[in-house]
């Protein structure tokens, strides 16, 4: 049985709050670049940028494909490769990585390796809509939409209007 965690209104509120935190943390938008991790981090980064724009700030946005940097590529080789799109050089910028769910930390590790091949940011920050715990690596988000303690047999599903036709976050219990 699915349990609703965030509705569309909850998600909009969380993204607005997260945008304000990004701007506060960086004292504005100067030299700040948002990079959404494919697939669902990219539309979230675009939304954060739109909220900032409505507040009079410009946060350039791009997307980061981490497929070839994943540490499970050997055991799960069938993957769709997306395309990294940078809004400009990232050297000496504050790069804000955006993802939908922070779980083991391995996706973020791959993103850090990918960034190392693209340039040398001044700093890297992590923003995630959901932090569900169960870290396998010493990685934590700087800004979180919702901390959601879960058990390992649960799955957090983030649905976005851009990719899934609706905005919704649910928890599903695995069939075991």
Domain locations in the chain as residue ranges: 3-73+80-173
Fold classified for 3-73+80-173: Rossmann fold (3.40.50)
Q: How many CB atoms lie within 10 A of CB 85?
A: 14
Per-residue pLDDT of the chain (176 residues; tens, 9 = 90+): 789 999 999 999 999 999 999 999 999 999 999 999 998 999 999 999 999 999 999 999 999 999 989 887 666 665 566 899 999 999 999 999 999 999 999 999 999 999 999 999 999 999 999 999 999 999 999 999 999 999 999 999 999 999 999 999 999 987 65
What's the confidence (pLDDT) of residue 132?
Answer: 96
- φ, ψ of residue 133 to 5 degrees: the values are 80, -165
Model-wide pTM > 0.85? yes
The distance of Cα 51 from the centroid of its chain, to the nearest Å, equals 16
Cβ contact 171:13 at 8 Å: no
């Amino acid at each position: 049985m699915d349990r609703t965690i965030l509705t569309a209104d909850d998600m909009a509120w969380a993204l607005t709050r997260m945008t304000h935190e990004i701007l506060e943390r960086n004292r504005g938008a100067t030299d700040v670049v948002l990079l959404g991790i494919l697939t669902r981090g990219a539309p979230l980064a675009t939304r954060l940028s739109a909220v900032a724009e409505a507040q009079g700030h410009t946060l350039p946005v791009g997307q980061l494909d981490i497929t070839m940097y994943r540490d499970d590529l050997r055991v799960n080789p069938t993957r769709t490769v997306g395309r990294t799109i940078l809004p400009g050089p990232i050297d000496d910028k504050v790069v804000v990585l955006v993802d939908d769910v922070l779980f083991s930390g391995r996706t973020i590790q791959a993103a850090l390796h990918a960034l190392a091949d693209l340039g040398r940011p001044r700093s890297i920050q992590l923003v995630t809509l959901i932090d569900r715990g169960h870290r396998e690596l010493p990685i934590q988000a700087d800004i979180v939409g919702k901390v959601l303690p879960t058990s390992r047999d649960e799955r957090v599903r983030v649905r976005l209007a851009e990719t899934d036709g609706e905005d919704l976050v649910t928890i599903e219990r695995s069939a075991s």
